[in-house]
Structure 1
Amino acid sequence: MATPEDLVELGRIVSAYGVRGMIKVQPHSAQESILLNVNEWWLARLSRSGVQQEPHRLVRVSRVREHAGSIVAQLEGCDDRDQAEALKGTSVFVSRAGFPSASDDEFYWVDLIGCSVFSTADSSGPVLLGLVREVSDNGAHAVLHIDRQGLDEQGKVAFLTDDKGRVKEILVPFVQAHVPFVDIQQKRIETDWPADF
């Protein structure tokens, strides 16, 4: 089977679990429900810098459940603790096309990355804040990490940088009170967060 082009890394195998070949996976985000609801995972080893060290390989999940903030799973063909331990450090990917449908008011973080964010705080109309680079969880809610954008001297949209040449960042709480509008199809998010915050 060809490797899907829409793979999303959702976690990493951290250890064997028990003596019958089960593995323990630490999910990367609060959306571990994907790993619980998809029975085909793709595994690959990544270097510390995130460079893929081997081709993805498809594995089928025969059992999976939550366990103390992590996921434990039985993979077909992984029948003993030694086989499970050999998978330690391997990243777990799932095809985005295989994600369960999200409800109308929920979004997968991977879909928010790359969206343009506009501030509606100014009465003169929406102002471009930038692009979502990352989404994190601060314990209470998700946070959008937005790389700031604005118009350059030629009037073209460009990333804004600080004195050291780093792209400026703005953090926006991803809660209904501040982010009332998300259109994944149009890759557009609107927030009441001020542009000059």
Structure 2
Amino acid sequence: MSDSKIIVGAIAGSFGVRGEVRLKSFCATPEDIADYSPLYTEDGSRSFEVTLERSIKNGFAVRLSGIETKEEADALKGVTLFADRDQLPSLPDDEFYYADLVGLEVYDTGGTKLGVVQLVVDHGAGDLLEVHTANLKEPALLPFTKAAVPTVDLAAKRIIADPPEGLFD
């Protein structure tokens, strides 16, 4: 996926018999997902105009352009949807899109390279950066807080971290 695309949602399956789909929105304001239309599949081979029909448990019932039947909607289950980056709002200085953090090198406050961010994980209690490093068998999960990650420099593609004691040992 290109750096010009950001994941904004996923199709959870069909909804009803007229081609609507269940859509999970990953947007801070869930209903904003329709504003970023058209949305694209991960490989960019398909695009959809999105029309929110109604709110349902854990998402929305949505009409996607070109999807007319339950069978077509069923075939899209599990498909992730992406928006053009320029459609998304600019973020304040202390907020980041997850996609911007993946691949950044992580250094401690003394300048020692700790590893590279491979994934951002959100388990509900706060974001964690999954940092892969050569000296650990398992990736380290660095809390993405101001205390543990005081500096994110997107231009230099690096993070300065003050990790909890023993995390990278």
Shorter-chain TM-score range? 0.7 to 0.9
**Alignment match, 1:188:** 158
Q: Is the 8 A contact 1:6 1:95 kept in 2?
A: yes
One-letter code of the match for 2:16?
G
**Alignment match, 1:156:** none
User: What are the Cα deviations for residues 82-114 of structure 1, in whole angstroms up to 9, with x where unaligned?
Assistant: 432232233323333433222222111110001
How far the C-alpha of 1:57 sits from its partner, in A, is: 1.1
TM-score (normalised: structure 1): 0.68
One-letter code of the match for 2:100?
D
Q: How many residues align?
A: 166
Q: Is the 8 A contact 2:52 2:60 kept in 1?
A: no
User: What does 1:1-197 correspond to in 2, within 5 Å?
Assistant: 6-26=4-24, 33=30, 35-43=33-41, 56-63=45-52, 67-120=56-109, 125-148=110-133, 160-161=134-135, 168-193=138-163, 196-197=166-167
Provide the secondary structure at the position in 1 that maps to 2:147: coil
Alignment gaps of 5+ in structure 1:
45-51, 149-159
**Alignment match, 1:154:** none
Provide the secondary structure at the position in 1 that maps to 2:39: strand
RMSD, aligned CA: 3.0
In 2 relative to 1, CA 25–63 (structure 1 residues): closer, same or farther, beyond 3 Å? closer
Alpha-carbon separation, structure 2, partners of 1:111 and 1:192 = 20
Structure of greater Rg: 1
In 2 relative to 1, CA 134–186 (structure 1 residues): closer, same or farther, beyond 3 Å? same
In 2 relative to 1, CA 103–87 (structure 1 residues): closer, same or farther, beyond 3 Å? same
Q: Is the 8 A contact 2:102 2:120 kept in 1?
A: yes
Alpha-carbon separation, structure 2, partners of 1:70 and 1:183 = 34
How far the C-alpha of 1:115 sits from its partner, in A, is: 0.9
One-letter code of the match for 1:178?
A
Alpha-carbon separation, structure 1, partners of 2:36 and 2:125 = 27
How far the C-alpha of 1:16 sits from its partner, in A, is: 1.2
In 2 relative to 1, CA 105–161 (structure 1 residues): closer, same or farther, beyond 3 Å? closer
How far the C-alpha of 1:35 sits from its partner, in A, is: 3.1
Alpha-carbon separation, structure 2, partners of 1:143 and 1:178 = 10
The percentage of counterpart residues that share the same residue type is 31
Alpha-carbon separation, structure 1, partners of 2:90 and 2:3 = 19
Provide the secondary structure at the position in 2 that maps to 1:42: strand
